Every structure is written in C-alpha cells, then in structure tokens.
Amino acid sequence: MTANELLNLAIAETQNIQENEVFLVKDLFKGYEWNRISKSNRLLLGTLFLNYINTSITKITPLDKTSSGQQKYTIKSKY
C-alpha cells in the first residue's frame, strides 16, 4: 500500500475520533496494521498527514509532540 493510500485511510478514520480527543496518526490504524507499515512509509505518512492538516479546512488541530517525536492531534468543534 502506498503512503497516499495510507493517508486516505487515516483521514477517513478520523471520523471515529471524538471532539477534544488527543490522538496520534498510529492510533488511526489497528496495532497489527501499523506494525506492517514500513518505517519509511510511517515517517512519510506522518509528514503527509501533518501537511494535509495544515493545508486543508478541517477540525483537526496539531498539538505538541510526544517525547518520542510523534505529532499529537485533536479534533476541535469549530474550524
């Protein structure tokens, strides 16, 4: 699966995240699905997801990063 296909799956899965819930991109995949994605594709997916959030009108807002460098996000009620 390409990084763009993974991005589309991740974007679709954000519909299941509740307002004000904090999540990571990896939370949008089942554990075994995430583990099957190559490290290079996971890194690329993180970059693509953040770029999508910053360039699209969406309720998703980037927060700070975790201690391991993973970007955290939340869903706000207003744009």
Q: Is the pLDDT of residue 71 over 80?
A: yes
Q: Determine if the pTM surpasses 0.75.
A: yes
- The per-residue pLDDT for range 12-41, each reduced to its tens digit, is 999 999 999 999 999 999 999 999 999 999
Q: What is the mean pLDDT of residues 38-55?
A: 96
What does the block give as tokens for 25? 């991109």
- CA-to-CA distance for 20 and 23, rounded, in angstroms? 9
Contact, 75 vs 21, CB < 8 A?
Answer: yes
